[in-house]
Amino acid sequence: MTLLGAEHDSHRPRREWSQLRAAGASWPAALSIALLLVTAATLAVEILVPSLPADSAGVIYLVAVLVVSSLYGLWWGLATSIGAALAFNFFFLPPAHTLVITSSSDWAALTVFVVTAAVTSNLASRVRRERDEAARRAAEARLSESFATLIADASDLASVLPTLGSQAARALGASDGAIHRGSPAPPERRQSVLTLDFNGRRLGELRLIESPPGALDTPAAHRIARSLAGLIALGEERERRLQQQVQAEALSRSNELKTALLRAVSHDMRSPLMAITTAAGGLRFAGLDEDDRELLQTITDQSSRMNRMIENLLDLSKLQAGAVAANADWLDPRELVEASLDEVVPHEQEARVKVTLAHDPPLVRGDASQLQRVIVNLVENALKFSSADSPVEVSVERAGGVVEIAITDQGRGIAEVDRERIFEPFYRSSSPGQVPGSGLGLAIAMGLAQANGCTLSVSSPDGGGSRFVLALPVPAGRRRP
Amino acid sequence: MVDDERPIRRALEVTLVKAGYDVTTANDAEQTLTLAALNPPDLVILDLMLPDADGADVCKQLRDWLRAPILLISAVGEEQDKIRALDAGADDYLTKPFGIGELLARVRALLRRSEGATSGEQVLEVGALVIDLPHRVVTAAGAEVHLTPTEFDLLKELALAEGRPLTHQMLLRKVWGPGYAQEMQLLRTHMGRLRDKLEDNGVPRRSIETLTGVGYRLRGSPTA
């Protein structure tokens, strides 16, 4: 049904589009019709003359002039009126069968006839032009509509281009045609080319096979090219958006999948660890001796170490999968530091950590859990990479448009060569005296800092030690309640 | 004691029994509600992630008729679920993995509080702080701490819930009103100033514990 309908539609307008072709009527036909009509008018006047005065019967010639000018335009009309005037003079004005006019009234009659004929033929040809123009515009509109329908219904642009090219070519009087996209190539023999531009962008060209001469230089041809180019541009835009939408959906599905997978893995790996920790904890009532308690402590300590490693791996995979969403809220930077220290500093090391908090620093925005992870990792690093009796300083201070949280240790410091790379996952410093660790803490800290719009930098002062600075931007124009 | 993972449930059960408690276990929400109705417990330890229901909903259903404290067990990253469960009436939470020592300490604290109900007291004592509710006066080690009305209300709510977590939304609703539940800026700023004033009077800033992503808790005094 659909196919049948489409075929019907593509046939119907083709007949009408022939009106778009240049109205170059052949001159022999026009001449023959003009001669035939003038002869017929002469015969009619001949029949009427016995009962009517010749001057009145001569009006019959106007009919011939009217018909010719409405069929073939002003110039053929004027030529016919001159021919009619000559015939009338020759056959009916005395002296008959000569082109001589003796009577002044005959002169007047002939002059009136020629003027009337000229005016008539002008009017008739103008009506004809307007009718033709209207028909052409209507046909153009139908052609554009047909293009638009084709493009709108098509699943992809490439599949409708042959039909579009063929319809446009036939409408312009060519036997067939095609639309070529991509870089221009020299046209083949018997082909002429109409470039398709839209807003200065070349979209391709319409190649016409056996097009009539001059058919491409008409305003109608340019209008068709413009409308075709506009619709192709629209089709391209639609395809581009569709593609973007498909890509975005695929990306979002794959991110959802990754997140779901990470959640599942994290749950599956943590549960056995939780069971190990709990079970080991339960043994504290078992009346163990000193050695047994030491073994139990090893189980507990190593379980929690393993838990941290799983935690780190999961965080890193989340960061690399782009599955970290910062849940931003208002935060007091001092709270971040205090909560981090609560979490990471073991009771026996509390004395090592010196905290300096600015008085009433501005609030910042960020994800509390993620920023806390950043500080925890930095403090953990500082405690690990400096000797157990050296202090670790943690400070919060305002510095221009940011609040800086600085963690300074008095360890060996970080060599110039390492400073660039310590934020890479699994990178371990090249210096001797390795401390156990996975090399993930700083990579995660950097990833989470960036996910929250913060910067994280490191420096090693000449006196030794390292200083890590987390800079949290202060939102502009923050009101203080 | 409710947990859907058998090894964890069993380890907790053995440990709690050895610590001298009488333990009944359940592995899903339905069993929990039935067992609690048949034999009302003194304390509920509830895993937030249950196979058949949302932990927060179970809290709410228990809270409708049960006065016993509810201790939640949750995993990392379940802050929103924790907040909903605390809002639904849970009393405290532990984040996995936790040490057995910590669990037993929380259990003892919750049981102690539910036995000696503190409601109706006019003067609250938390560590060095003494909070006189009718006169709205706070002293730290005998010296008066000058607080604004908002700071006093904040401290009062924390002290009334001593040792128990209060979510951000709970504090905002109680101190500022129901329309202020999302005004985190207010809470952070006033909490910062309250801690400044406590610190100036010799009370450590960290007496008020920050529960990241959840809320605050006033640390109980060791002797309480």
d(CA A319, CA B4): 30
Which is nearest to A163 in space by CA: B9, A154, A172?
A154
- Residue A365, pLDDT score: 92
- Residue A3, pLDDT score: 36
| Alpha-helical runs (H) found in A216-289 | 219-282
Of B12, B196, B212, the CB nearest to A368: B212
| Averaged pLDDT, A108-127 | 85
Residues pairing with A204 in the sheet: A196
CB B138 within 8 A of CB B147: yes
What DSSP letter does each residue of A375-394 carry, written as one string? HHHHHHHHHHTS-TTS-EEE
Q: How high does pLDDT run on average in chain A?
A: 82
Q: Say whether residue A31 is in contact with chain B using an 8 A CB cutoff.
A: no
- Which of A262, A265, A268, A274 should one mutate to test binding to chain B, selecting the residue with the greatest count of B CBs within 10 A? A274
Which amino acid, residue A234? L
Among A57-61, A240-244, A268-272, the range scoring the smallest mean pLDDT is A268-272
- Which of A278, A302, A344, A359 should one mutate to test binding to chain B, selecting the residue with the greatest count of B CBs within 10 A? A278
DSSP B131: E
What DSSP letter does each residue of A417-458 carry, written as one string? HHHTTTTSTT---SSSS-----S-HHHHHHHHHHHTT-EEEE
- Residue A13, pLDDT score: 43
Which amino acid, residue A377? N
Residue B196 and residue A359: Cβ atoms within 8 Å? yes
d(CA B224, CA B216): 19
d(CA B151, CA A370): 28
d(CA A406, CA A333): 11
Taking CB atoms and an 8 Å cut-off, how many pairs form between chains A and B? 102
Query: What confidence tens digit (pLDDT) does each residue in A3-34 have?
Result: 333 333 444 444 445 545 444 557 888 889 99
Q: Say whether residue B186 is in contact with chain A using an 8 A CB cutoff.
A: yes
Among A54-58, B55-59, B101-105, B140-144, the range scoring the smallest mean pLDDT is A54-58
Here the contacts of A460-465 (C-beta below 8 Å, separation 24 or greater) are A460/A413, A460/A414, A460/A415, A460/A419, A461/A413, A464/A410, A464/A411, A464/A412, A464/A413, A465/A386, A465/A408, A465/A409, A465/A410, A465/A411, A465/A412, A465/A413
- Residue A173, pLDDT score: 81
DSSP A133: H
d(CA A80, CA A82): 5
Of A303, A329, A481, the CB nearest to B189: A481
Among A169-183, A286-300, A367-381, B60-74, the range scoring the smallest mean pLDDT is A169-183
- Residue whose tokens read 């002939």: A110
Q: Say whether residue A356 is in contact with chain B using an 8 A CB cutoff.
A: no
| Averaged pLDDT, A127-147 | 86
- Residue A55, pLDDT score: 76
Determine the 3-state secondary structure of A188 from DSSP: coil
DSSP A206: E
Confidence of residue B116 (pLDDT cuts 50, 70, 90): low
d(CA B137, CA B142): 11
Residue B185 and residue A342: Cβ atoms within 8 Å? no
- Residue A307, pLDDT score: 84
- Chain A closest CA to B18's CA: distance in Å? 7
Which is nearest to A161 in space by CA: A203, A220, A212, A216?
A203
CB B86 within 8 A of CB B70: no
- Residue A9, pLDDT score: 41
- Residue A470, pLDDT score: 95
Measured in whole angstroms, the distance separating CA A434 from the mean position of its chain's CA atoms is 53
Of A275, A331, A480, the CB nearest to B11: A275
Q: Say whether residue B205 is in contact with chain A using an 8 A CB cutoff.
A: yes
Confidence of residue A481 (pLDDT cuts 50, 70, 90): very low
How many CA atoms lie within 13 Å of B74's alpha carbon, on the beta-carbon side?
23
Determine the 3-state secondary structure of B214 from DSSP: coil
The encoded tokens of residue A481 equal 């309640």
CB B156 within 8 A of CB B131: yes
| Residue in chain A lying closest to B80 (CA) | A327
CB B198 within 8 A of CB B207: yes
- Residue A477, pLDDT score: 66
CB A236 within 8 A of CB A157: yes
The encoded tokens of residue B152 equal 């006093």
Measured in whole angstroms, the distance separating CA A141 from the mean position of its chain's CA atoms is 27
- Residue A171, pLDDT score: 82
d(CA B34, CA B26): 9
Contacts of A331 in chain B (CB under 8 A): 188
Determine the 3-state secondary structure of A276 from DSSP: helix
Which is nearest to A61 in space by CA: A96, A37, A78?
A37
Question: In angstroms, how far apart are the furthest CA atoms of chain A?
Answer: 156
| Averaged pLDDT, A210-230 | 82
Determine the 3-state secondary structure of A59 from DSSP: coil
Comparison of pLDDT for A131 and A215, the residue scoring more = A131
Element holding B32 (H helix, E strand): helix B29-38
Which amino acid, residue A252? S
Of A278, A304, A368, the CB nearest to B213: A368
Query: What confidence tens digit (pLDDT) does each residue in B122-167 have?
Result: 888 888 889 998 889 999 888 899 999 999 999 999 998 888 899 9
Which amino acid, residue A460? S
DSSP A97: T
Determine the 3-state secondary structure of B84 from DSSP: helix
What is the ipTM for the molecules in this complex? Answer: 0.82
Over 80: is that where the pLDDT of B43 sits? yes
Residues pairing with A459 in the sheet: A467
Residue B101 and residue A329: Cβ atoms within 8 Å? no
d(CA B17, CA A427): 47
Contacts of B100 in chain A (CB under 8 A): 278, 281-282, 284
- Residue B117, pLDDT score: 57
Q: Which of residues 313-342 of A touch B (CB under 8 A)?
A: 329-332, 334-335, 338-339, 342
CB B58 within 8 A of CB B36: no
How many CA atoms lie within 13 Å of B59's alpha carbon, on the beta-carbon side?
26
The encoded tokens of residue A480 equal 């203080």
| Residue in chain B lying closest to A371 (CA) | B212
Neighbours of B71 (CB within 10 A): 20
Query: CB neighbours of B143 closer than 8 A, spacing ≥ 6?
Result: B201
Of B11, B189, B191, the CB nearest to A480: B189
- Chain A closest CA to B118's CA: distance in Å? 28
d(CA B29, CA B44): 12
Query: CB neighbours of B214 closer than 8 A, spacing ≥ 6?
Result: B79, B82, B83, B86, B93, B165, B167, B168
Burial category of A281 from C-beta neighbours within 10 Å (exposed 0-12, middle 13-18, buried 19 and up) = buried
User: What is the percent of chain A where pLDDT is above 90?
Assistant: 15
The encoded tokens of residue A186 equal 């020299």
Which is nearest to A224 in space by CA: A161, A135, A133, A145?
A145
User: What is the percent of chain A where pLDDT is above 70?
Assistant: 90
d(CA A363, CA A480): 9
Of B19, B209, B210, the CB nearest to A285: B19
Comparison of pLDDT for A166 and B116, the residue scoring more = A166
DSSP A348: G
Query: What confidence tens digit (pLDDT) does each residue in A340-370 have?
Result: 998 888 888 888 999 998 888 899 999 998 9
Contacts of A329 in chain B (CB under 8 A): 184
Q: Say whether residue B51 is in contact with chain A using an 8 A CB cutoff.
A: no
- Residue B122, pLDDT score: 82
| Averaged pLDDT, A171-198 | 79
| Residue in chain A lying closest to B188 (CA) | A332
CA A252 vs CA A245, A322, A327: distances in Å: 11, 11, 18
Contacts of A281 in chain B (CB under 8 A): 11, 15, 99-101, 103
| Averaged pLDDT, B52-76 | 87
- Residue A14, pLDDT score: 45
- Residue B74, pLDDT score: 84
User: In degrees to the nearest 10, what's the CA dihedral of A442, A445, A449, A454?
Assistant: -50
| Averaged pLDDT, A256-277 | 78
d(CA A382, CA A308): 17
Residue A285 and residue B12: Cβ atoms within 8 Å? no
Of B18, B96, B196, the CB nearest to A274: B96
Beta strand spans in A34-187 (E):
176-180
Which is nearest to A170 in space by CA: A145, A206, A135, A203?
A206
